[in-house]
């Protein structure tokens, strides 16, 4: 049986979730897929910090030790663009496959990184970069590869959706709903990228390039920071709901992308998506309209998406036993 060694960069919420999920599912994966996946090294900031259930000998504060070590797949979960980008570039140059949940890095440098992966005959898995546990990347990359995609629309940010849902159902103003989202773990302490729309825009850019290919993008982004409860109530009076919606469609020689709050009729497919949940509606010329929905964030849903990429690469690669 082939053994696949993982170099894990980052052991935060998602990284720890990945370690725990792999430990739980390792034997099942061995029996079903015929590969033994094991974490060989873990990059952390503080190797002395207690991490129950993790062998301290796996921990390292030196990224190059992991990137140049005998790891087959590098799982990048440190986030950000600069350090993460340097790690991923080094891994690809060293002939290692990469799995990442880093939407910001892919939105910023995706074309360059995929070109590097092709040159070095390795793969990049990025299912976890958009909508956590919803397999939307795989659907566009594989399941719908034979169809012409006409449009994508979706609720791509769980923080915004949670805030709007609480404003609607709990009669809260924006600040109160944001505070509640932070208290319940659905918003970061600094939520500017979420409520400003940039997080959803990064995810939309990834989906748009998968669906339509590399083209000029006309992007317009508007957040929800100025939404009022009065606006929510006015929509309700018209039997509508307010949702933060991302859309992408082919227009002429480019892609038109919009991230903005919209008033949706109660019967609209996205109107019923509440709280931290995400959803994506894809319209294809042959298949018609398809909808994907589920948990868009959280340590285990995101870790499951990371692990699915690891399994796919491990099972399909030409690594020797």
**Residue 194, domain CATH:** 3.30.360.10
pLDDT classification of 166: cutoffs 50, 70, 90: very high
In angstroms, rounded to a whole number, what is the distance separating the alpha carbons of residues 36 and 315?
10
Let me know if residue 141 belongs to a domain.
Answer: no
- Flag whether 89 is in a domain: yes
> Please, which residues have CB within 8 angstroms of residue 193's CB and are 6 or more apart in sequence?
199
Cα end-to-end span (Å), the chain: 6
Parallel, antiparallel, or unpaired: how do β-strands 59-60 and 124-125 relate? Answer: unpaired
pLDDT digits (tens, 9 = 90+) for 57-86: 999 999 998 998 899 999 999 999 999 999
Render pLDDT for 168-210 as a digit per residue (tens, 0 to 9): 999 999 999 999 999 998 888 899 999 999 999 999 999 999 9
For 304-316, write each residue's pLDDT tens digit. Answer: 999 999 999 998 8
In degrees to the nearest 10, what's the CA dihedral of 192, 9, 156, 314? Answer: 170
Residue 187 lies in a domain: yes
CATH number assigned to the domain comprising residue 49: 3.40.50.720
| 228: in domain | yes
**Range of the structural domain that residue 108 is part of:** 2-132+300-316
Helix (H) or strand (E) holding 260: strand 254-265
Residue 217 lies in a domain: yes
The reply to whether 139 falls in a domain is: no
Split at pLDDT 50, 70, 90, the class of 320 is very low
Q: How far apart are CA 16 and CA 28, in angstroms?
A: 19
Q: What percent of the chain has a predicted confidence (pLDDT) above 90?
A: 90
Q: Which pLDDT band holds residue 317 (cuts at 50, 70, 90)?
A: low
Mean pLDDT over 295-302 rounds to 86
Three-state DSSP at 73 gives strand
Marked catalytic residue, from 103, 182, 203, 295: 203
Catalytic residue flag (residue 203): yes
Q: Which of 36, 35, 42, 37 is nearest to 7 (CA)?
A: 42
Local structure of 311: helix, strand or coil: helix
- Inside any domain, residue 94: yes
DSSP label at residue 58:
G
Please choose, from the candidates 25, 10, 1, the residue with its C-alpha nearest in 3D space to the C-alpha of residue 310.
25
**Closest to 292 (Cα-Cα) out of 185, 136, 176:** 136
Comparing CA positions, the residue from 86, 2, 3, 107 lying closest to residue 43 is 86
As a whole number of angstroms, the distance between CA 204 and CA 74 comes to 25
Looking at residue 297, what is its pLDDT?
A: 78
What is the pTM (predicted TM-score) of this model? 0.92
Q: Is the pLDDT of residue 319 over 60?
A: no
Residue 19 to residue 71: CA distance in whole angstroms? 15
Answer yes or no: is pLDDT of 223 > 70: yes
The Cα 98–Cα 128 span in angstroms is 12
DSSP string, 237-288: HTTEEEEEEEEEEEETTEEEEEEEEEEEETTSTTTT--TTEEEEEEEETTTE
186 in the same domain as 105: no
Max distance between CA atoms of the chain, in angstroms, equals 64
7 and 95 belong to one structural domain: yes
Domain check: are 267 and 222 in the same one?
yes
3-state secondary structure of 164: helix
Number of domains in the chain: 2
Verify that 109 and 170 share a domain, yes or no.
no
- Domain contains 43: yes
- 32 and 126 part of one domain: yes
- Number of H helices and E strands in the chain, helices first, is 11, 12
């Amino acid at each position: 049986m082939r053994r696949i060694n993982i170099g894990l960069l980052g052991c935060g919420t998602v990284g720890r979730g990945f370690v725990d999920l792999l430990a739980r599912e390792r034997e099942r994966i061995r029996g079903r897929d015929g590969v033994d996946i094991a974490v060989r090294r873990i990059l952390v900031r503080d190797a002395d910090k207690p991490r129950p259930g993790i062998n301290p000998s796996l921990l390292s504060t030196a990224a190059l030790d992991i990137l140049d070590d005998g790891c087959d797949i590098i799982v990048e979960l440190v986030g950000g663009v600069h350090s993460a980008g340097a790690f991923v570039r080094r891994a690809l140059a060293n002939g290692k496959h990469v799995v990442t949940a880093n939407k910001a890095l892919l939105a910023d440098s995706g074309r360059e990184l995929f070109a590097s992966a092709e040159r070095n005959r390795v793969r990049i898995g990025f299912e976890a970069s958009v909508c956590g546990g919803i397999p939307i990347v795989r659907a566009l990359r594989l399941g719908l590869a034979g169809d012409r995609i006409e449009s994508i629309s979706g609720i791509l940010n769980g923080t915004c959706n949670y805030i709007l849902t609480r404003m609607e159902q709990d009669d809260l103003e924006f600040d109160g709903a944001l505070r509640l989202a932070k208290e319940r773990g659905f918003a970061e302490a600094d939520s500017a990228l979420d409520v400003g729309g940039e997080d959803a825009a990064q995810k939309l850019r990834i989906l748009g390039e998968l669906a339509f290919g590399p083209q000029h993008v006309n992007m317009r982004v508007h957040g929800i920071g100025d939404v009022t409860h009065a606006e929510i109530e006015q929509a309700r009076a018209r039997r509508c709901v307010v949702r933060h919606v991302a859309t992408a469609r082919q227009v002429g020689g480019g892609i038109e992308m919009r991230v903005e709050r919209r008033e949706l009729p109660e019967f609209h497919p996205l109107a019923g998506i509440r709280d931290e949940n995400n959803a994506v509606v894809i319209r294809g010329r042959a298949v018609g309209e398809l909808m994907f929905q589920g948990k868009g964030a959280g340590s285990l849903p995101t870790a499951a998406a990371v692990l699915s990429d690891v399994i796919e690469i491990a099972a399909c690669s030409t690594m020797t036993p």
